[in-house]
Structure 1
């Protein structure tokens, strides 16, 4: 017997982006993040989820879950999350780590009713630089041109995702 389960539409609502705390993420072992708080101020940085020498395989994901909770507690509540949607990875390990972080993120958001959306890499790069296949250096330069000081390409990508979400109302505009 097939049964259809009705799910609420958790996509960010048009207009919701302008007046809420939103988080943008470039998922990876070194995750880039950018947050626009309720006050309109944008902060950004990177967080390392590299496992320690004696950590089990799931520790990076538990640390990521705890980190999300702290961001939400200290700066939130988070109203929406956008993340870089990667379709190709340089290697198998990178793909596994990305998949685990994305699963952790989406489960965390689902449990709290926080809408989330992936944004294709080309969309982010095109919005930031005008070129859909821009190199890392161009993404860093684009963030600097907007007045930010990203530590690396991970933070620059997160800033670009956040600016895309704000400027396009989450892709609705």
Structure 2
């Protein structure tokens, strides 16, 4: 089963009718941040690490199930923004990212949810002013905005969500 940790931070006073926006930092340990229809931002991490007895596709089935549950709990998701990684440290990371991305985009297409990849440098520049900021800088940027990320995956997801909300998905 997937391990989930989460934190909640109100962005402002509740605003009924606000679009539900999901931001993801895809990986075995996926960071996520969600703005609910009431304006509350919730974030956390979820692990899709398979056990040694699991088949190769189980992490993707669990990811899809997690997306289904999240959409059920949060209501109709309006948009999904995810970190668009063009370079991976290793082959395994690239394969996991590709599988999660394929699962995400097929899920979004089926659910009729708009989705958009956001380049890593764009996210880092928006959060810290530096397009090549390190993990510590991203964590510090999230904390400076009032969040308490458990790790860099959650901090990245928060940064993606804030970028999406503040730039209207890049349509400044």
TM-score (norm 1): 0.89
> What corresponds to 1:109 in structure 2?
108
1:151 counterpart = 2:142: no
Misfit runs of 4+, over 4 Å: none
> What corresponds to 1:118 in structure 2?
117
Q: Aligned-residue CA RMSD in angstroms?
A: 0.8
1:40 counterpart = 2:39: yes
Who wins on radius of gyration, i.e. which is larger?
1
Whose RCO is larger (CA < 8 A, sep 6+)?
1
Which residues of structure 2 form unaligned runs of 5+? 1-16
Displacement after TM superposition at 1:19 (Å)? 2.3
Helix, strand or coil at the partner of 1:32 = strand
Count of aligned residue pairs for this structure pair? 156
Displacement after TM superposition at 1:154 (Å)? 0.1
State the alpha-carbon separation in 2 of the partners of residues 82 and 61 from structure 1: 18
Superposition map of 1:44-83 within 5 A: 44-83=43-82
State the alpha-carbon separation in 1 of the partners of residues 35 and 45 from structure 2: 15
TM-score (norm 2): 0.90
- Structure in which a larger fraction of residues adopt strand: 2
Helix, strand or coil at the partner of 1:55 = coil
State the alpha-carbon separation in 2 of the partners of residues 98 and 76 from structure 1: 26
> What corresponds to 2:138 in structure 1?
139
